[in-house]
Amino acid sequence: MQTQNNFDIIVASLQDETDIQQKFDEYSTLMAYFRCAIMEVQTKFNVLNEEFSLQHDRNPINSIHSRLKSIESISRKLKSRDIPFTLSNIEKNLSDVAGIRVICSFTSDVYLLAKALLKQDDITLVSIKDYIKNPKPNGYRSLHLIVNVPIFLVHEKKIMTVEIQLRTIAMDSWAALEHQLKYKKDNEFTEEMTEELYRCAKISADLDMRMDNLKSSVYEEAAEYNLDEYENKIII
């Protein structure tokens, strides 16, 4: 059923239906490249987690989740921007087709891992949005990175874009519950509910700060929360 839905969307995007199968195969190949990019970045984080465990006897990463944007979501996003559905437009205009979410134990670990990743010479920073230092109005906190990473194929190297979200367990729990509550079907989310969610976000932020302070005492690790040095390295 999912394959048929993908096929139907590609068919609807074509002017000439004689190359339907070819376009479908090309789309499938592009998605395979994005999956490879996810695996590359995920492996990098797993290596960093293993190295840190050996050096400091603890793991900064609690879990890693990945997702590939569905063709329905890709189609809607391009349409909302009045951009035709083509493979080149997907690569040029969408930076979140491939996504990775890294759940960290502590806020300082978010920045530690981000810095370690961005120091790698095959990673190029495209953009950075620090919603931890500057939370969204609703209280949402997370560190968002858009990076370019190479994947090595049999006959070529391709540069692919991956969106990375790094957050603590508390940040992730709040975000998941906020989405579950706010977007429940047939339910009006009131201003009072919005304010209560924001208060919960503040409590979550206070918890992260307190846990980081405890971690600094237990492990004697200095906490760092600054990525300003990378803001000048963003490419357009």
pLDDT digits (tens, 9 = 90+) for 215-230: 988 887 777 777 877 7
pLDDT tens digit string along 101-125? 999 999 999 999 999 999 999 999 9
Query: In this predicted model, what pLDDT tens digit does every residue of 126-153 receive, in sequence order?
Result: 999 999 999 999 999 999 999 999 999 9
Q: Is the pLDDT of residue 56 over 60?
A: yes
Q: Express each pLDDT in 81-95 by its tens digit.
A: 999 999 999 999 999
**Distance from CA of residue 26 to its chain's centroid?**
24
pLDDT of residue 225: 76
**Pairing assessment for the beta strands 98-104 and 61-68 based on DSSP bridges:** antiparallel
How far is it, in rounded angstroms, from Cα 187 to Cα 184? 6
pTM score, whole prediction: 0.87
Q: What percent of the chain has pLDDT over 70?
A: 88
Give the Cβ contact number of residue 122 at 10 Å: 12
Using alpha carbons only, give the angle 165, 169, 170 rounded to the nearest 5 degrees: 105
Residues 179-188: what's their mean pLDDT?
75
CB atoms within 10 A of CB 219: 12
Q: What is the rounded average pLDDT of the residues 4-12?
A: 59
Question: Minimal CA–CA distance to 162: which of 176, 178, 144, 136?
Answer: 144
The pLDDT assigned to 236 comes to 41
CB atoms within 10 A of CB 56: 11
Kindly provide the residue ranges of all beta strands, DSSP E only, lying in the chain, ordered along the sequence: 61-68, 98-104, 124-130, 143-152, 157-168
